[in-house]
Amino acid sequence: MTISGKTIITGIFGFPVEHTLSPAMHNAAFEAMELDYCYVPFLVHPDKLENAVSAIRAINLRGINITVPHKEKVMEFLDEIHEEALFIGAVNTIVNNAGKLVGFNTDGRGFMRSLGEAGISARDKDVLIVGAGGAARAVGYYLCREAHSLTIYGRTRSRAEGLAEDLRKVGDAVSVSNNFSDIERFHMIINATPLGLKHDDLLPFDTKNLSKEQIVYDLIYKNTRLLEEARAKGCLVLNGSGMLLWQGALAFELWTGELPPVEIMRRALLKAIY
């Protein structure tokens, strides 16, 4: 990659940011498409987020991904927020249109694309989401319109109830559960908690009653103990690398207006993960 005065800059704001896999994925895509763009990680302290967002305009960055812990707070500093991001209450992608900063959330659509490419449709499925945070909200936004039913399990009942109430504004058949006694009835179970990120984490739920008819999707981008145990039960398993890939591919499209080279991005992402 050669940086010149014409190179268009994109990147990511996070705190911390050193573990991000997005630069590998986006820079590989720019290079493959021979686009004069580059993608840079920026360590942005929460106290400096407003300054950093102003800098997007000041130094003419084309687009920025937003990661933990800034996805919600950043919304205050943008000029316009896309409907989907407003619902989710979080922005993961900013587009700078000649100084006007527009916020998007590509996580939910990224998740649906990853299901689609695995040949899975949520239609006619009873789906359980374990967790009621930002990721649950992003995937729930789409699933509640497609699935036969959607159930939210939340450690904090009030948070799960709040999410279910919001989701009922866009889809039917959304309910809340506070136990896993009927786990056998779900066609698809999604882990949207961080449990499994660390190797000594507890499982988000007991896998003993899983069966080979079920799909288990862990939003964590690596193979987790949950996925290992579900696979041993014969379940179809998916990790979050597909969602991560597609949220990035959708951001790439928003910034460049070009169709993303998804297979190049996938290869770069998997190389960075493993």
Spatial contact of 221 and 67, defined as CB atoms under 8 Å apart:
no
Given the residues 6, 48, 71, 233, the one annotated as active site: 71
Across 217-228, b (16+ Cβ under 10 Å) vs e yields bbbbbebbbbbe
- Helix H or strand E segment including 113: helix 107-117
Site string for ligand NAP, 205-234 (x = CB under 6 A): --------------xxx-------------
Site for ligand NAP (CB under 6 A): which residue of 78, 85, 243, 251? 243
Contact 185, 128 (CB under 8 A): no
Q: Which of 134, 140, 260, 261 binds ligand NAP (CB under 6 A)?
A: 134
Print the binding letters for residues 4-23 with ligand NAP: x by CB under 6 A, - otherwise: --------------------
155 touching ligand NAP, by CB under 6 A: yes
> Which of 131, 140, 260, 261 lies at the binding interface for ligand NAP (CB under 6 A)?
131
Least distance between ligand NAP and beta carbon 3 (Å)? 28
- Under 8 Å between Cβ of 122 and 146: yes
Closest C-alpha among 161, 108, 155 to residue 135: 108
Question: Catalytic site residue 125?
Answer: no
- Round the CA-based radius of gyration of the chain to a whole number and report it: 19
User: Residue 69 interacts with ligand NAP (CB under 6 A)?
Assistant: no
Among residues 25, 78, 127, 132, the one that binds ligand NAP under rule CB under 6 A: 132
Nearest to 108 by CA among 84, 78, 74, 133: 84
Toward ligand NAP, which CB reaches closer, 66 or 210?
66
Question: Which of 82, 34, 131 is CA-nearest to residue 250?
Answer: 82
The verdict on 74 binding ligand NAP (CB under 6 A) reads no
Taking a C-beta distance cutoff of 8 angstroms, is the pair 103, 74 a contact?
Answer: yes
**Binding status of residue 265 toward ligand NAP by CB under 6 A:** no
Instruction: Verify binding: residue 84, ligand NAP, rule CB under 6 A.
Output: no
Restricting to residues 87-126, name those near ligand NAP by CB under 6 A. 107
Contact between residue 262 and residue 249 where contact means Cβ atoms under 8 Å apart: yes
* Site of interaction with ligand NAP (CB under 6 A): 107, 131-136, 154-156, 159, 192-195, 197, 219-221, 240, 243-244, 247
Catalytic site residues?
71
